[in-house]
Amino acid sequence: MTSRKDTYFCTMEKWLTFKNTKISYTDSGKGPVVVLLHGFLENNHMWNEVIPIISKNKRVLALDLLGHGQSGCLGYIHTMEIMAEAVFAVLKSLRIRKITLIGHSMGGYVSLALAEKNPEMIRGLCLLNSTANSDHQQRKKLRERANKMVKKNFKNLVRMSFINLFSEESKTVFKNKISNALDEALKTPLQGYVACQEGMRIRPNRLSVLKNNHFKKLFILGKKDPVLPVKKGIKEAEETQSETVVLSGGHMSHIEKSDELVRVLNTFIRQSLYS
């Protein structure tokens, strides 16, 4: 599928069969490899403003995780571990040995699962609006309730939960971008929604992955994030000897603070190569 490990010179959409299921991804640029993992109800399109800049001197892989985008579903529970296995299968097929890993929200949970099993691969791990902690009890109950409700009214529940990720100001300022992102969210199949909610609900605490490894670590937090309170994120970073960058937006930094985010990611990627 590729000629040399860690370098590639074409930009194209590809796919891999994993456990009889299609895994879709894009492959852009050449150089040291950066892997981008999207969040819940997103797909690789969330990185559309990030990839053209980073891929100028890096090879960038952006995957559709199980049950999202063009990737298929595997049953009704997509654990973070099985999604990490799918990511690893893509990397193995491309003969990639070292990566800088960036995961948004759920993509961060998958990144941690991948790093737990394959720490030698990781040059750097960035949790973008994400956490290494497991869900608290209230959050677990909310996911259970959502999985029951979504079967009766998928579109309204997805629309409501997605829009609530933004502040009132952002809903106005980024109206068109939010509308486009919502259109992508609504393409998520019901099975993908349920399977990933359940996988996130049962995921374990992975603070030890950050504490016990010496690769470059960064938390990018949103000052107004309604899902992950910034104070908790800062505390988590301190506990795991990770660096922290706080952006003024909310949970969707790639929409609310795209230019600043790209600058932060470029710096992190460059530093990860020499850590």
Residue 124 has pLDDT above 80, yes or no: yes
Task: Confirm if 185 and 264 have CB atoms less than 8 A apart.
Answer: no
Query: How confident is the model over 48-73, as pLDDT tens digits?
Result: 999 999 999 999 999 999 999 999 99
Q: Angle, nearest 10°, between helix axes 154-163 and 137-149?
A: 140
Predicted pLDDT of residue 168: 81
Q: What pLDDT does 2 receive? A: 36
Name the CATH code of domain 12-272 (choices 3.40.50.1820, 3.40.50.10140, 1.10.287.610, 3.20.20.140): 3.40.50.1820
More confident residue, 164 or 246: 246
Contact yes or no for 223/253 (Cβ under 8 A): no
Mean pLDDT to the nearest integer, 131-157:
95
pLDDT higher than threshold 60 for residue 134: yes
Q: pLDDT exceeding 90 applies to what percent of the chain?
A: 90
Q: Is 40 left (phi over 0), alpha (psi -120 to 50) or beta?
A: beta
Q: What is the mean pLDDT of the chain?
A: 94
Residue 231 reports pLDDT greater than 80: yes
Structure tokens at 106: 């759920």
pTM of the model: 0.94
DSSP characters over 14-35: EEEEETTEEEEEEEE--SSEEE
> What pLDDT, in 10s, does the model give residues 67-118?
999 999 999 999 999 999 999 999 999 999 999 999 999 999 999 999 999 9
End-to-end CA distance of the chain: 30
Q: Which of 26-30, 143-147, 170-174, 185-189 has the lowest mean pLDDT?
A: 170-174
Token pair for residue 222? 């949103």
Query: According to the model, what pLDDT value does residue 164 have?
Result: 87
Identify the burial level of 246 via C-beta atoms within 10 angstroms of its C-beta, where 0-12 means exposed, 13-18 middle and 19 or more buried: middle
Q: Rounded CA gap, 33 and 104, in Å?
A: 17
Over residues 138-161, mean pLDDT: 94
pLDDT of residue 153 exceeding 60: yes
